[in-house]
Structure 1
Amino acid sequence: MRIDRDVSVPTRDGTSIVIDVFRPDGDEPVPVIASMSPYGKDVHWPDRFPMYELVDQGEHMVWETPNPEWWTERGYAVVRADTRGSGKSAGRLDLFSRTDAEDFYDVIEWCGVQPWSTGKVASSGISWYAMMGWHVAALQPPHLAAVVAWEGCTDFYREGGRQGGIHSNGFLGRWWQGQIVPQLTGDDHASLPDEVKARELLDDWYRERTVDLSQVRVPVLSAGNWGSIHLHLRGNIEGWLDAAAEHKWLVVHVGSHIDPYYADWAKELQLRFLRRFLDGEQSAMDGVAPVRLAIRRGHDVEWRDEQHWPLPRTQWRELYLDRQALSWEKPTEARTPYPAVLDFTATERLELTGPLALRLWVSHIADDLDVFVHIEQYDVDGQRIPALGPAGTASPVPMAVGWLRASHRKLDPHRTLPYRPWHSHDESQPLEPGVPTLLDVEIWPTSITLEPGQRLQLRVQADDDNMGLIAHNDPDDRRSGHGATIHLGGEHASHLYLPVIPTAQVQR
């Protein structure tokens, strides 16, 4: 393997982006796999995250990026770049800005015209790298031929900065201090956490950081994780749905945020995808279904191929909130205090795979309210069956979550669907104290299988309830739930909207 370190790539405004290039031995031109981030191209993985013991964590490995040794052995060059204003790259750091994406565009175009390149370039990586893949794809650099977007969101406001309109400070603050600040090249930078805190409504700053998926036309392999309920899952699914690409695949797996990308099955799938669109092997993706889902069966999973999302055979059902339980039957009119914890016990196998929503009628003594929705699963012995969070078994999370600030309840009528409310977040609409008001809460997609005797639990509450990394606990931003009431039955029949999958049918 040949290694060229600290190569300067000029951008359109003259700023230099510094990259490393890993190439196979020999003189034949090869396709390129590129990535760019503010995490530091020179930071060896074990130096920053020694807790991850990956099989292929070699001496050239960097957090969340393709392994150069593995990919060069298979005939690809691997390029890693430092984002403007970080690592060894000059300029002012302004994350997720148009300039950020244009820099990656310029790096891709530089790669495409090098004598060692075939002119075919892909973007690949986890998390940040996947997000940049979405962003640069929307700019359509001519030499970009494919994107592997592994756990990467597409809508920074709704999926990262302000889920449901509520400040997601827990993750952003920790991430900024731990991964961004150590790599800054100077004091001249824009602080992403400060910008998010200062901007409650979705404005032009957020729009600049939202991918225009209608412009994503290159082939996409979008891989989400059921447990990535704090940042990426929604974006991988919405990205696959709305990308204008003719060729696109969606995979939703389980596991930690890191390990699956490097698993044998995942590398084989990535290799097949890149063989098809970088090397021109027309049959490389034959037999790969457009949608492949890890259907959760308690603590286990069952892989299943599908053709569409949501699943066309879904039976959408309403599960009503009553004073002490959840029921298929609409209750008589009643009220229950906020917060509420309500259970449903399955009498037969019940699979829920797809997006969910909660239609919640509330009244409040104040003019605003933060709503946090958790969906949990319990076995017949009353033991919680958690989802695997970002750190796998070390960070269990609910099976599904949703958020909404009541004053952000306004819906976009052009994008809202019964199973996926779409909030505009462009104005604040205070509650009228004491008046029942309907809140349509988006709950991120899930896969849950209840066996007879197992319980589905709905928690409607005013805080994150010990969600750790995902915490929304900025005291300057929060809206109290003290004095709120949930309305039930009659004209105010609060209910879950659930994706029930018939168990007797199998998608061919």
Structure 2
Amino acid sequence: MPLVKTEITVEHNVVTPMRDGTLLRADVYLPDKVIPIGAMGATSGSGGFPTLVCRTPYDKSRERDAERYRGLASNGYAVVVQDKRGRWESDGLYRPMYGSQFDDAEDGYDTIEWAAVQPWSNGKIGTFGYSYPSWTQWMLAPLMPPHLVTMFAGGMGPKTTDWEMGGVFRPGRALQWLLGLIAPDTQKWLDDAQGPTTIEDYDAITRVANREKWLWFLPWSELPLEAVGGLRESFHDWLRNHHKDRFGFIGNFSKIDLPVHHRTGWYDRLVATTDMYNHMVDEAPTEHARANQRLFVGPYTHANEMNRVTGDMDFGPDAEIDWVELATPWFDYWLKGQQNGVMDGAPVNIFVMGANRWRLEETWPPARAVDTDFFLHSSGGANTPSGDGELSLEGSNPEGPDSYVYDPRDPVMSLYLANGQDGPFDQRMNAHRRDILVYQTAPLEQAIEVTGNPVLRLHAASDALDTDFTVKLIDVHPDGTAINLCYGFQRARFRNGLDEPTELMTPGEVYEFDLKLLPTSNLFKVGHRIRIDISSSDYPNHDRNHNTGADDWQDAELRPARQTVFHDATRPSRITLPVIEE
């Protein structure tokens, strides 16, 4: 029986006390009345409603998010949306997610247990939220509040370094996030505000006056208070420790005995949500938890919205999904006991781009994927798409290397969404750049599906002490449209791993780099080409390497570097693609 939607009421700034006496505040959305359904059997006068909790740093009362909260409440849920500690209307000291000290586990626990005993709650609690509100869920989950039944999470990886890929600052999105969403509220920490104090003011000033000036400010350590508000000290700590995991999620999955719905997108910078799913499947403490994980991956960017059109691509009507309509059946099953089929079938649901269809899988990545090597070839002129770079199944031959000059004063500019998030864009806008090496197949005579994590094994040298290498996997359409699918990034000093001591390069020495690309699922159709672009910059998606060997966050010097890529019999550079064979 479907639930008849109802009008709702909203109580603003409801006080939620924490164990240390700090008062946090939440908006509470309540249905006026509910027609009993399924096993719920509860109305506003007979035991309260199942309750959903979201803890956010982004101003709980933002109208852009309220539609989702109202949608959940109209489906028969009490919805609690709380400003996390030190944010907006909540008291206390804000500790950012990139820091080393947090209150979020205890605050989350206390909020869950507070909500469970309110007269409008029936004591069955679920949590929800994407990105930072997903992080707050994973922070509290290991404490296992007694009334917490399930989570609906996404847009979050298990390590801080999944967020800041390769241990490197990502100013394009990071500055928009830090300066636009976080710093306006921390300007109040200063005796006199030095910059905008609301998100709306920041947007207006950025649009008309500042534009993107902070992207070109050097060094990052000297960003003025106008930009960072009261966050300067924590911002410097973040810059110093970009290569370290601060989240602490690894090792905690064995404590989380909960069913979890994991949602992400192929163009989500935090598509490492797939790793959260696998950690829970492998490490959760009970069979109940391990068997009741679900993964949902669509052609989406890092956002709550799931739209058919992202960037330059329309993925068709099957990609258009309403968030409330996706979340409600999950909560109906776990909190109301409805046998609605949401747990039927294989646990992994992925959208195969190119084919533009959904497909269920038993595992992520699909166990049947076959790792297939595509080797780089050229006659030394792979620069630009009109060069002689080739990609083929044929092994490397005795052939000369390719080279280019990477100048951090003139980086390859990122093609991404206006808010700094990833998306699919036609790469022909960068086709003129000679600091991009292009390797592509001939037009395909039969379709090839790539689903999983590609890996580039690159043999390369530089005349710098430190530098970067980037790779993009691209689907080239018959008309020349070149759509990016996923990418990888490697800072040379971290080539031995982020947990190992940094090691600068010896100029001229050839090194083997493994660049793990973000996961994808794409059908390269007949007549299309498989292509990879190799360069040393993707700015401002990743910070520029200054090529000096110094700490880039406190170094203002910029030096060009000559890069050489080898693809001969003894140094066979290649990309390994996970191919799904029919």
Q: TM tier, shorter chain?
A: 0.7 to 0.9
The structure-2 alpha-carbon separation of the partners of 1:78 and 1:197, relative to structure 1 and needing over 3 Å to count, comes to same
Give matches, 1:70-469, under 5 Å.
Answer: 70-96=71-97, 97-157=101-161, 159-161=162-164, 163-184=165-186, 186-187=188-189, 190=231, 193-202=235-244, 206-208=246-248, 212-228=252-268, 231-234=269-272, 236-243=273-280, 244=284, 245-246=289-290, 247-256=292-301, 257-260=303-306, 264=321, 266-282=323-339, 284-297=341-354, 301-323=356-378, 324-333=389-398, 334-338=400-404, 339-345=436-442, 346-384=444-482, 386=483, 398-410=484-496, 423-464=497-538
Unaligned runs of 5+ residues in structure 2 are 1-7, 33-43, 191-229, 308-318, 379-388, 405-435, 547-551
Distance in 1 between the 2:87 and 2:187 partners?
A: 5
Give 1:433 shift: 2.4
- Cα distance in 2 for partners of 1:160, 1:453 equals 36
Q: CA deviation at 1:402?
A: 0.7
Query: Relative to structure 1, is the Cα distance of residues 200 and 267 closer, same or farther in structure 2, using a 3 angstrom cutoff?
Result: closer
Instruction: Quote the offset at 1:252 in angstroms.
Output: 0.6
**Partner residue of 1:20 out of 19, 27, 35:** 27
The secondary structure found in structure 2 opposite 1:226 is strand
How big is the alpha-carbon RMSD for the aligned residues of Structure 1 and Structure 2? 2.5
- SS, match of residue 126 in structure 1: coil
From the superposition, tell whether residues 210 and 179 of structure 1 become closer, same or farther in structure 2 (CA, over 3 Å): farther
Query: Partner of 1:68: helix, strand, or coil?
Result: helix
Is the Cα–Cα contact under 8 Å of residues 314 and 501 in structure 1 kept in the other structure? Answer: yes
What is the alpha-carbon distance in structure 2 between the residues aligned to residue 401 and residue 280 of structure 1?
A: 41
Residue 94 of structure 2 aligns with an amino acid whose one-letter code is L
Task: Give 2:54's aligned residue.
Answer: 35
- Tell me how far apart the structure 2 counterparts of residues 336 and 109 of structure 1 sit (CA, whole Å): 61
Structure 1 residues 184-223: Cα deviation after superposition (integer angstroms, max 9, x where no partner):
37317655543322224316xx244778334333111111
Alignment of 1:48-59 (within 5 A): none
Distance between the aligned counterparts of 2:392 and 2:560, measured in 1?
Answer: 25
Query: For the Cα contact (< 8 Å) 1:254–1:294, is it kept in 2?
Result: yes
Of 20, 41, 63, which residue of structure 2 is paired with 1:44?
63
Cα drift, residue 251 of structure 1:
0.6
CA distance, structure 2, for counterparts of residue 263 and residue 30 of structure 1: 29
- Which consecutive unaligned segments of at least 5 residues does structure 1 have? 46-60, 387-397, 411-422
CA contact (8 A) 2:138 2:249 kept: no
Over residues 339-396 of structure 1, what are the superposed CA-to-partner deviations in whole Å (9 max), with x where a residue is unaligned? 5221123221011011111111112222222111111111112122x3xxxxxxxxxx
- CA change 1:92–1:167 in 2 (3 A) is same
Using the alignment, how far apart are the partners of 1:331 and 1:221 within structure 2?
Answer: 44
Mapped partners of 1:451, 1:4: distance in 2: 53
Q: 1:98 to 1:214 in 2, by over 3 A?
A: farther
Cα pair 1:352 1:447 within 8 Å, conserved: yes
Q: CA deviation at 1:133?
A: 2.0
Q: Is the 8 A contact 1:86 1:185 kept in 2?
A: no
Letter in 1 for 2:10: I
Contact 2:87–2:94 (8 Å) recurs in 1: yes
TM-score by length of structure 1 reads 0.82
Aligned to 1:56: none
Please tell me whether the aligned partners of residues 169 and 193 of structure 1 are also in contact (alpha carbons under 8 angstroms).
no
| Structure 2 residue matching 1:27: 3-state secondary structure | coil
Give how far 1:93 is off.
0.9
Q: Is the 1:275–1:284 Cα contact (8 Å) retained in structure 2?
A: no
Aligned residues of 2:10 and 2:29 also touching (Cα < 8 A)? yes
Matched with 1:52 is none
- Greater per-residue strand proportion: 1
Which structure has more RCO (C-alpha within 8 Å, separation ≥ 6)?
1
Quick one: which amino acid aligns to residue 353 of structure 2? R
Counterpart amino acid of residue 445 in structure 2: T
Give the Cα separation in 1 of the matches to 2:453 and 2:321: 29
Aligned length: 449
Alpha carbons of structure 1 residues 331 and 264: separation in structure 2 relative to 1, 3 Å: closer
Q: CA 1:200–1:175 in 2, change beyond 3 Å: closer, same or farther?
A: closer
Deviates more, 1:136-145 or 1:188-197: 188-197
Letter in 2 for 1:369: T
* CA distance, structure 2, for counterparts of residue 456 and residue 142 of structure 1: 51
